[in-house]
Chains A and B, each alone.
Chain A
Amino acid sequence: MAPKIAVKDGRLAKRGGMSDTNLLLTITIVVFLLMYVLAVVVLGAGFRKPQAFFNILNENAALIILSCGMSIVMITGGIDISVGTLTALVCMSCAVHLDYKGGSVFTALLIALGIGVAFGLVQGFLVAYLDIQPFIVSLAGMFFAKGMTTIVNSTQFNVAHEGFQALKAIRVYVPGMGSINKRGIYVPAYVEPGVVIAILVVILLFVLLKWGKLGRSFYAVGGNAASANMLGINVKKTKFLAHLLCSTLAGIGGFVYFMHVGSGSPSHAAGAEMNAIASSIIGGTMLTGGVGNVVGTFFGVLSLNTIKNIVASLGLDEAWWTNITVAAMICLFLVIQSVVLMRKNEKK
């Protein structure tokens, strides 16, 4: 991806220099690798098994999907803080549908998608065509989803539906990965189906953002909406589609979350929107728009949760330590990014 270009006559030997997006992405990946290697070397045990790594994925498949959607909205210069409570709403609706209304897994999936799309249409319309600040729109979306979840059903319950249980139990084994347990038996490493979905989402979105006309429009609108308009991009439509995509992904992420926990509860995915924003930021997406990448976001989620695991395995399992460490990590990344970009701009 690094830009390497030499015009034929060598008039311009200088390289294009790294784009902001790639620069931040590189920082993220390097920091994540360093952190994980450090964890393996210093803390050993819990981190050495491949399954330890895949468990981070299993636990956070939904967060990966939510964060990717968040990154896209952030790239266009917006924000969507409704994704967390939307996840809870999807879980609760699917749970009620399966256990109380006798629905099938397929229709549950349709419900999940439908909720996501519906939120996306409304929020996208309000943001793009009525020009209302995305923060306010998604704040209302967040409140709405929160309230609706308890209106659908106010208490937590586990889903007993057979078809769903079967789906939930599916394990995808990772070839060539595994470890030998205490009794000397080789246990292959596995991931849940949600992880496969999450990785597919990351790949698809990566392609969209890199090559898709729509993806490039996201960057253009985030870089400078007025200019993008002059360049012939339909800014309103682009913003609308970004929000639609984000909410739809939240619907899918909600279903993945549901497959992982197998229950409905008003407190599901609490604060997930903030985790998604944090992951995006750690992954090098900037809230000001125009800069970011879903691959970075993927590593952002991994970084965020690796640090949580490190804190836990240090024996500091009081909740406050996790929060404080995570906050410190966001702070560190922000300062790194801000310093790097400031210096880069100064050089110019």
Chain B
Amino acid sequence: MTKLASPEKKTFGAKFKELASNQIFIPVAALLLLVLFNLIADPGFFKITLGQNSNGDPVLSGYLITILNNASELVILAIGMTLVTAASGGQDISVGANIAIAGSVILRILCGNQGARPETMQAPIIVAFLAACAVSMLFGAFNGTLVAYFKIQPMVATLILFTAGRSIAAWINNNQLPIISDASFGYFGNFIPGIPVPTPVFIAIACVIVIMLVLKFTTLGLLTQSVGINSHSSRLNGIDPAFVKFITYVILGLCVAVAGLIKVSRISSINYSVIAKDIEMDAILAVALGGNALSGGKFNMWGSILGAYVIQFLTTTLYKFNVASDALPAYKAVVVILLVVMSAPVVREKMGKAMKSAASKKTAKEAK
């Protein structure tokens, strides 16, 4: 086999093809398109103002802040979902329901034995959060066990908690809707007094930093990808494929607990049937938009994270243009389809070829 011509002589088509074949291309291009669209439609979209909230604390507001703020839970989930997808070649559809459980656990512990409306929190928030982490990781372990050790397809295995999760969440609080009146509980989902940027933004960034450090300083990335691509080979190279799959579900459980804390903190309460509804779909979409194969194997974490922000950017843009919230899914669907069609390898190959031939025609003309 001989190599093709030296890489210096690249046509525009080849350059484009190389760019387009980069995994990050699609989410970045989508983000740029959305930015461009908003710039043309209304540059005011990008305005950020410093105001004061009802307590007289400084807060930043503007659509960009809203996007960063609201995307937080999605970003956190996308991290775990990417790992689950890579290792097990499937997705966890129970994350929404599990957020309800995590949220419910936090509220239950904060309420203690004081009923649904305690005057003060009955336990430190950190204790409640750690309890939620433990419970979420336990449910993650349940999913992981079914997938890794019983070899059930992920979507099917997680269908169980998808069905039962919200009911379990309601059962934890005896179907009551607790309300926490202590302002400090709201810090995690809103603003910490004196800091003008919403806290979820920081939490999401912290999670991103943590996962990037984990990927850099451990072999988690190599192991999950290796198991996702070929679990037989992985086993013969000393990897325990079942355990790697299992552990990704536990990690996703941890992500769920963090997202759950933000969710309940935002409203200092919970609504079992509405909290984090359909978020599993968005999380999976984030992974796919990031150019990651849903059938597992190689992954790009930045792609998923960007994908999550793109989804929120899209949602916020649509709201801005007064699309009714009920009709929102229809518009979202159209955009999603356009994005995935553009990123489909079949389409890209054809596009790449077309660009190449156009470019070569052009160079031929110039040569004359």
Contacts and interface: CB of A to CB of B under 8 A. Distances in A.
B284 A319 contact: no
A274 B159 contact: yes
A45 interface: no
Interface string A316-330: 001111111011101
Given A130-B344, A143-B330, A154-B326, A320 B159 contact: no
B349 to A, nearest CB: 10
A321 B167 contact: yes
B48 interface: no
A335 B160 CA distance: 12
Contacts of A148: 327, 330
Contacts of B357: none
Interface string A137-157: 101111110111011001000
Nearest to B334: A144
A25 interface: no
Contacts of B351: none
B284 A139 contact: yes
Interface stretch (B61-69, B182-190, B232-240, B335-343): B335-343
B117 interface: no
Interface in A104-157: 126, 129-133, 135-137, 139-144, 146-148, 150-151, 154
Contacts of A286: 153
Given A154-B326, A320-B175, A334 B337 contact: no
Interface stretch (B12-20, B126-134, B144-152, B250-258): B144-152
B157 interface: yes
Given A140-B336, A143-B336, A327 B161 contact: yes
Contacts of A242: none
B: interface residue count bin: 35 or more
B346 A144 contact: no
A324 B167 contact: yes
Given A130-B347, A335-B150, A136 B340 contact: yes
Nearest to B330: A147
B166 to A, nearest CB: 7
A338 B288 contact: no
Contacts of B175: 318, 320
B247 interface: no
Nearest to A337: B152
A79 interface: yes
Given A130-B346, A147-B327, A328 B150 contact: no
A277 B333 contact: no
A132 B289 CA distance: 12
Contact of A342 (B151, B285, B332, B346): B151
B39 interface: no
Most chain-B Cβ atoms within 10 A of its Cβ — which of A79, A126, A129, A150?
A150
A338 B327 contact: no
Contact of B164 (A131, A133, A327): A327
B192 interface: no
Nearest to A129: B346
A208 interface: no
Contacts of A334: 146, 150, 152, 156-157, 160
Nearest to A277: B159
A335 B156 CA distance: 11
Most chain-B Cβ atoms within 10 A of its Cβ — which of A79, A140, A277, A327?
A140
Interface in B262-321: 281, 284-285, 288, 293-295
A281 interface: yes
A132 B162 CA distance: 25
Contact of A143 (B91, B164, B167, B333): B333
Contacts of A136: 284-285, 288, 294, 336, 340
B171 A144 contact: no
B35 interface: no
Contacts of B37: none
Contacts of A140: 333-334, 336-337, 340
A160 B151 CA distance: 51
B290 to A, nearest CB: 12
A335 B151 CA distance: 9
A330 B153 contact: no
Given A139-B284, A342-B151, A126 B330 contact: no
Contact of B333 (A147, A320, A322, A331): A147
A266 interface: yes
A277 B166 CA distance: 19
Interface string B45-73: 00000000000000000000000000000
Contacts of B146: 331, 334-335
A135 B333 contact: no
Interface string B65-102: 00000000000000000000000000100000000000
Contacts of B328: 147
Given A137-B340, A266-B326, A338 B163 contact: no
Contacts of B347: 130
B345 interface: yes
B95 to A, nearest CB: 14
A141 B333 CA distance: 7
Nearest to A139: B281
Contacts of A144: 329-330, 333-334
B315 to A, nearest CB: 11
A135 B163 contact: no
Contacts of A79: 155
25 contacts: A130-B346, A132-B340, A133-B295, A135-B155, A136-B285, A137-B340, A140-B340, A142-B281, A143-B330, A144-B333, A144-B334, A148-B330, A266-B326, A274-B163, A287-B153, A320-B170, A323-B163, A323-B167, A326-B163, A327-B159, A327-B164, A328-B160, A334-B152, A334-B156, A334-B157
Interface of A: 79, 126, 129-133, 135-137, 139-144, 146-148, 150-151, 154, 266, 274, 277-278, 281, 286-288, 318-324, 326-328, 330-331, 334-335, 338-339, 342
Given A326-B164, A334-B156, 9 more contacts: A131-B345, A135-B91, A139-B281, A147-B329, A266-B326, A277-B156, A287-B156, A323-B164, A327-B163
